[in-house]
Structure 1
Amino acid sequence: MNSSSSSRRHQDSKWTTADSKIKYLLSNNTKTVSKRQQQQQIVQNYQEIASPKQQVNDSRRSSEHLNTKTESNDTLVDRIAAFGPRIDGEIGITGHLLAPPAANDSYGCISVPNPNIKNWIALVERGQCSFLQKVKTMQDSGAIAVIVGDRHFNGWVTMYAPGDTSDVHIPSVFVAQHQYKALLQLFDSKDTSAPVAVRLSGDDLLTWPLLDMLLVVVLSPAVMMLFIYLTWQLRQRQRRKNDIAPTNFVAKLPTYVFRREKIVDIEHAECAICLEDYVEGDQLRTLPCKHEFHAKCVDAWLTSHKKFCPICKFDICQKTESSKSNNSSIPPSERTPLLNA
């Protein structure tokens, strides 16, 4: 943004630009007017503005910068709005900066009379109404661009607008507290001529198509990988759940206390899971396939590893009818009962 304290007839032909910055340059060809005359002229260009609503903020990088021509050589930063047209980096937008005096409402929420100056840029304060309403109001008033400033907080936000913004035909930028007050001081300076020339210029390196492309290139693979990982985890969890037996189902399987004097086949008096011999008083659990194990061993196996019998691979969660049919296919052994109960 370039601001000039000279009239359009004496404007300097040189403008300096900097990425996302505001610069003030000294102009020797100035026609000074008094502070009172300047304020009277600005008052004629604005009428009292009514109160509006509230708006939210965000932190997105700007691709425009602001150059002004006046007595200082400060560098200020702005941030482009998320709605409205982009600013051409080479051509930019040049106009005269106008702002209502501090005595009036400076929020820019209602239309103001079109000033007798062509190509003027409105400087309004944040608050009282939405960013979209400010820009539309100044657009209807004849402004070619809008600068929204924050009087109370020194931080940049990206101006967002909900809904359809296709009827916004002028660009807008946001400046923080320091930058906003610096722009207001242009109108309070005794040596500043009215109006102040301003130029909005874009940055060729950070344009919206490039930002969109970077977002797609960087975020899309990350989002895709996250989706694939979550899908894989969900399938693994479902697979593990299908491979184990429910705890309440295992708890209902029959158990009994081991008694050595009741053992018929002494060679099979050991747990096939822990390979320990059964001891008097051990609690054994009998599976539907009639194989027996330590209750604590087989419970851990069924609920955390597999729902199959460690010996014959019989699925203990099968229904009773299928269990009986599968039992007939099990090769008979010394422990196979003669009659099914």
Structure 2
Amino acid sequence: MWSLLLTPLCLITVFLLLEAPMAEVFVYVVYKQNSTCTDFRALSACLGPPVPREGLRGYLIEAAPANACHPIGGPPAGGNSSAAFIALISRYDCPLGVKILHAQQAGYQAAIVHNVNSEKLVTMVTNVEEIRQKVGIPSVFTGESASKQLRRVMGSEKGIHVTLVVPEHYHNPCWDNAKLSIGDTARHYWDLQFGYCSKRMISLFIQEFGIAIGMIVCTLLVVGCMRWCRKSQKITVSTFKTGDKYVTCVICMAEYEEGDQLKILPCSHVYHGTCIDSWLLIQPQRKTCPICKQQVTVAR
């Protein structure tokens, strides 16, 4: 039933959104300042080439305009022509694929897109075939706090080197098939999202219904215990037959005879019905067994 509910939701996400939350497959944005290395988590995009296995190091330059929804200025001219440059771009205002394409067209070798007013990470995708075919640089998505820290460092230094680090045993399922058609991309992304959605919903199901089941079990245990307690405190009635183990009523000191009505207290002591009724009646408050003094609850 859960699968039937998830299918249309995840499918709509694939075809209507240009970005969406996905499973945690991290690369790291690392920079060094004052002999201290700092790193931030980032998600690799599902368009353009993957971040190289050996990582990618370059000068970080903030895009102008910052959202890169229009063509942006290129890296600084002169210097070492072999140096790589990475564009820092803010989210929103236009599709993510357009932002990355503008960074590529300006001469950047990679792009870091950051969230705005959120630390949430999303995997960047596109269902626009033209953009998907044109994007040829790797890109990652990171949170707002990472962008603020990187901007502070850029403001205090002439140039900041950052490295996109690929952890050992890193595997991004976006690149299981190097070249996918737009239909394949949507289907492949659907497979990734469905797996994530299913695991997430199963986890939520266990959390929510696990608590409910636990409460039901506890309630049943309490009810069962209460019933057992009431049953164990109940006075039962029996008719004496020859051969029964009961012999004498300690209240009237008479022996039991065939057909006598007896009452058995919760403590298992036995008396004539009329004898124990009279005994309990003359006890105004705390009613107890004549022999063991165990409290007896009388039904009202």
Shorter-chain TM band: 0.3 to 0.5
Q: If the length of structure 1 is used for normalisation, what is the TM-score?
A: 0.42
Query: Greater share of helix residues, 1 or 2?
Result: 2
